[in-house]
Amino acid sequence: MRTIRLETGRPILDIISYGRAGPGNRISLTPAQIAQIHRTVSRTPEVVVKVTGGGGSTTGRGVTAHFSYIGRRGELEIETDDGQRLTGRGVGRHLVDDWDLDLEEDRKRLDLFATNRRKPPKLVHRLIFSMPAGTPPQKVLAAVRDFAREEFGLKHRYAMVLHTDEPHPHVHVVVKALGEGGERLKIRKATLRHWRQEFARQLRAQGIEANATERAVRGQSRAPKLDSIFRAAQRGESSHMIARAAEVVRELQEGAVDSAGVRDLRRTRMEVLRGWKAVRDCLLVDGRYQLADDVVRFVNQMPPPRSEKEWLAQQLVESLSRSRSRDRSIVR
């Protein structure tokens, strides 16, 4: 079976490569790059595109359960690639049958038996496209609809549903892994980069300011997985927070931090800074003085590069301090 990997080139705003170009090498910025520089230094909202994991992608039963989950057990409307808008508890089972996922599962089960492969391939990929709170939900859905049509139309079956139960509107998309022509969708880092850029482009076509840049380019080094810990704190699970804070602070005091990881962060930051300096110099040569000043301001406001444990220690200690302050105020 033929495998197709969706790969693209470097990001449109490849700051690190600008820094590596060295002094004296003139950078020629395209209009698209200048536009993205402006969006980045103006802190235009960044799009989020995630691939969710879990075992529910490898079996027909799991896919049915996922459709039930994202459809809120039949309450929300699920829109398909052929324009259907489906509701009801049987939607998931209907789509599994329509996409022939049970047949593919049976065939893959025979293949696994024959080849002794331990990990079954995915029947579907589960994606989430989201924007910050305040973004019009229907425009997010329209952007995802246009994105999916361009990326998957006539190649991979897909279905989507809009969620507005959280402050940030987001769309769940389920894509059949095996394409109509027998090609299998493989998602790489470059694929996600391309998808973020295209999602942002579709949002801008809807009149929504949106950007898609690398986290390092924006001076961000905090790992997204830390968010779950702070959501636990908001739910009142302070004992977990205190335990984690004590553990991380103790490791920092003992110098048990992964120094190689910290060095990599510092090295990446230096390359990013050199890249932004090269971009600023190019903007000055082109007479774009205001944008060059904006670049300098943006770089000066970058947070310091910190390892995951350093970020965690700072955030947890601050949370613990606020909690103790509240306790003291209650005692008084």
- Provide the pLDDT confidence category of residue 180 given band limits of 50, 70 and 90: very high
Mean pLDDT, range 250-275, rounded to an integer: 77
Q: Angle at CA 148, nearest 5°, toward 142 and 149? A: 90
- Asked if residues 136 and 168 have their Cβ atoms less than 8 Å apart, the reply is no
* pLDDT at position 46: 97
Question: What are the boundaries of each domain within the chain?
Answer: 45-205, 224-331
Q: Which of 156-165, 223-232, 323-332 has the lowest mean pLDDT?
A: 223-232
Strands 170-176 and 124-130: antiparallel
Mean pLDDT, range 61-86, rounded to an integer: 96
- Asked if residues 202 and 144 have their Cβ atoms less than 8 Å apart, the reply is yes
- Look at residue 218 and tell me whether its pLDDT is greater than 60: yes
- Provide the pLDDT confidence category of residue 55 given band limits of 50, 70 and 90: confident
CATH of 45-205, one of 3.40.640.10, 2.30.60.10, 3.30.930.30, 3.40.50.740: 3.30.930.30
More confident residue, 28 or 278: 278
- Provide the pLDDT confidence category of residue 249 given band limits of 50, 70 and 90: low
* pLDDT at position 98: 96
pTM, rounded to two decimals = 0.82
More confident residue, 222 or 67: 67
Please provide residue 197's backbone torsions phi and psi, each rounded to the nearest 5 degrees: -65, -40
- Look at residue 102 and tell me whether its pLDDT is greater than 50: yes
- Provide the pLDDT confidence category of residue 224 given band limits of 50, 70 and 90: very low
Instruction: Dump strand ranges (E) for 84-167.
Output: 85-86, 124-130, 158-163
- Provide the pLDDT confidence category of residue 3 given band limits of 50, 70 and 90: very low
- Look at residue 4 and tell me whether its pLDDT is greater than 50: no
